[in-house]
């Protein structure tokens, strides 16, 4: 199995984007976790990370059927290293207060696309 940095270098050499981000999968520590009480501070933290350029994406994920919410979420950070991304995750009030636990992994973005449309006269923004 190749080492992460070796694979990243090879991806760049073949012309892939090789953009490294950090994916945090987060879940409640139990049914009595005070998620509603921690949510305002969590959202304020997310807004601060977004303004700082550290938060790429965040939001809940469904259960495997795609039909139900079950309390898990995903956060994608921009950071200089895995340790720096871990510090961002640790700073989230949900994690700092022990309301949620998380795992974190490096994510190397090589392929894909998105469309961003900005209506200048309407102020409408569409992201797909």
Neighbour-count burial for 76-92, b at 16+ CB within 10 Å, e otherwise: bbbbeeeeebbebbeeb
What is the residue extent of each domain of the chain? 4-127
H/E element, 27: strand 19-28
- Render pLDDT for 79-100 as a digit per residue (tens, 0 to 9): 999 999 999 999 999 999 999 9
CATH of domain 4-127: 3.30.70.1060
- Render pLDDT for 8-51 as a digit per residue (tens, 0 to 9): 999 999 999 999 999 999 999 988 889 999 999 999 999 999 99
What is the pLDDT confidence band of residue 108, given thresholds at 50, 70 and 90? very high
Question: DSSP letter at 34?
Answer: -
Burial class (CB in 10 A: 0-12, 13-18, 19+), 47: exposed
């Amino acid at each position: 199995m190749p080492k992460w940095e070796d694979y990243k270098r090879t991806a760049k050499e073949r012309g892939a984007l090789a953009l490294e981000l950090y994916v945090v999968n987060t879940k409640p520590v139990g049914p009595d976790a005070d998620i509603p009480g921690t949510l305002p501070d969590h959202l304020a933290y997310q807004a601060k990370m977004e303004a700082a350029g550290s938060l790429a994406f965040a939001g809940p994920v469904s259960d495997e059927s795609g039909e139900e919410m079950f309390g898990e979420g995903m956060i994608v950070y921009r950071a200089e290293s895995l340790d720096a991304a871990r510090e961002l995750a640790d700073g989230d009030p949900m994690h700092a207060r022990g309301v949620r636990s998380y795992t974190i992994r490096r994510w190397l973005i090589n392929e894909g696309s998105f469309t961003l449309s900005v209506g200048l006269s309407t102020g409408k923004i569409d992201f797909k």
